[in-house]
């Protein structure tokens, strides 16, 4: 009995589709963004535990604690999304676009403040890059 041999896939790829440069770049940007959010959560924690943070009354301390938890969850979510995007999950691509859109809205609001113009412009470029890279790339439907 003779078996027909199938030719190997091109470019030595084991038959699996590789990750595009756009997906890699979007994933790395989202991971960096998540790391920045986590650093902000650590800074809020240190502010909360410092002597400056101890002058807050219970309500302000509670609000600061809640803000720290929210910032931490945003950072963890960004890290999770970025890693999943590098693993070619389509839900992560869509989530990255949503994250970029929300950041873009926040960036535009930052431009209103005279002190936030430079930060707002950087955030607009960063968010626009995430939206463009994740939005223009195609990955599987998993």
Domain boundaries, the chain: 21-136
- Please say whether the beta carbons of 81 and 102 come within 8 A: no
Question: Tokens for 80?
Answer: 């999770």
Cα Rg, the chain, nearest whole Å: 21
Q: What is the reported pLDDT for 63?
A: 80
CB atoms within 10 A of CB 60: 11
Q: What is the pLDDT, as a whole number, of residue 109?
A: 87
Phi-psi sector, 94: left (phi>0), alpha (psi -120 to 50), beta: alpha
Backbone torsion region of residue 6, taken as left when φ is above 0, otherwise alpha when ψ lies between -120 and 50, otherwise beta: beta
Tokens at 97, concatenated: 């676009």
Q: Residue 48's closest CA among 37, 30, 61, 33?
A: 61
pLDDT at 101: 94
pTM for this structure? Answer: 0.77
Average pLDDT by consecutive 10-residue portion of the chain (142 residues)?
Answer: 56 59 94 95 78 58 84 95 94 94 89 82 92 86 48
CA-CA distance, 134 to 30, in Å (whole number)? Answer: 10
């Amino acid at each position: 009995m003779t078996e027909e041999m199938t030719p190997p896939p091109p470019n030595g790829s084991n038959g699996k589709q590789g990750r595009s440069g756009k997906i890699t770049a979007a994933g790395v940007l989202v991971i960096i963004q998540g790391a920045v959010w986590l650093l902000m959560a650590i800074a809020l924690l240190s502010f909360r535990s410092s002597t400056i943070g101890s002058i807050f009354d219970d309500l302000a301390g509670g609000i600061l604690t809640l803000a720290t938890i929210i910032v931490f969850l945003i950072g963890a979510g960004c890290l999770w999304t970025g890693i999943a995007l590098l693993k070619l999950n389509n839900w992560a691509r869509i989530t990255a676009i949503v994250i970029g859109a929300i950041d873009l809205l926040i960036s535009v609001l930052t431009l209103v403040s005279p002190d936030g113009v430079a930060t707002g412009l950087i955030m607009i470029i960063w968010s626009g890059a995430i939206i463009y890279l994740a939005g223009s790339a195609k990955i599987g439907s998993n």
